[in-house]
Amino acid sequence: MDPSSLQERFDFAFNLIQDAGQLAFDYFRRLDTLTVKSKGPQDMASQADLDAEVLIRDRLKSRFPEDAFLGEETGHTKFSAGQGIWVVDPIDGTQPFLSGLTSWCVSIAFVLNGTLEMGFVSSPARNELFAGRRDVGATLNRKAIRVRTATQLTDGMIGLGYSLRVTPDEFLPFFSRLIRNGGMFYREGSGALTLCYLACGRLIGYVELHMNSWDCLGALAIIQAAGGTINDFLSGDGLWKGNRVIAGSDPLYPTLSSLFVD
């Protein structure tokens, strides 16, 4: 895929995520009208999730029919090696969304040949739009952003994620290592949004034992474009099965990585 084709996708997705964010925000302002279902413990979905994903999926299919699609709510289309694939979470942070909190976002990523090419995260309730493209740069509301250089855990706050896919016996020793080494943790209801706060310098790192691809790829692309270092999330079938997440400035990355014990 040539640079002009990638730029075409970037421009299209940049506009598309704003439309999807506006649709989700319209639902957010009338939560009492939503149909909500449970997908499991602490895992909810609403009509807003489905409608936002369908909007994104259908517009991408119309413009780029040759690309594959993976969404949290509607699943994936047929995918073959060498094919580009869009990875979408229509609302990351559904529980905060349904609770009337603003810590939610819409996330879109594009992967080609196993490489994370670009990502977009829209936080309409906070009026913030993050975007990034590999080897080009990252922006917040169209202004350039960079990760903040840190060398030790005490240089700032670390974003910390947790889900019930990880047992307490797995999480608590991991959490203990972070705080015993002087780390101060920060947690929001949306992993994607928290990762973006690393990309723009509000946080110095992010760690989580397991995330699904749709929850983080958009933000990880933005972190990379903002000069940050991330683990190879797509290794070990991460696109389909998820993976751990380690992200931070290059000098801090080894320390963050040491929190994980295989």
Q: Which CATH number fits domain 153-257: 3.40.190.80, 3.30.1360.170, 3.40.50.620, 3.90.190.20?
A: 3.40.190.80
Q: Which two tokens stand for residue 245?
A: 């997440």
- CATH of span 3-145: 3.30.540.10
Helix, strand, coil percentages in the chain from 3-state DSSP, rounded to 5: 40, 30, 30
* Residue pair 114/201 in contact by the 8 Å Cβ criterion: no
Which amino acid, one-letter code, is at 59? R
* Residue pair 60/69 in contact by the 8 Å Cβ criterion: yes
Split at pLDDT 50, 70, 90, the class of 153 is: very high
Residue 42 clears pLDDT 60, i.e. is over it: no
H or E, element range at 115: strand 115-123
Residue 44 clears pLDDT 70, i.e. is over it: no
Read off the pLDDT of residues 168-196 as tens digits, 9 standing for 90 and up: 999 999 999 999 999 999 998 999 999 99
Residue 41 clears pLDDT 90, i.e. is over it: no
For the chain, domain boundaries: 3-145, 153-257
Average pLDDT over residues 199-222: 98
Strand order in the sheet with 85-92: 75-76, 68-71, 85-92, 105-112, 115-123, 128-133, 137-140, 143-145
* Residue pair 48/24 in contact by the 8 Å Cβ criterion: yes
Which amino acid, one-letter code, is at 68? A
d(CA 237, CA 232): 11
Closest CA to 239 of 68, 106, 59: 68
pTM equals 0.94
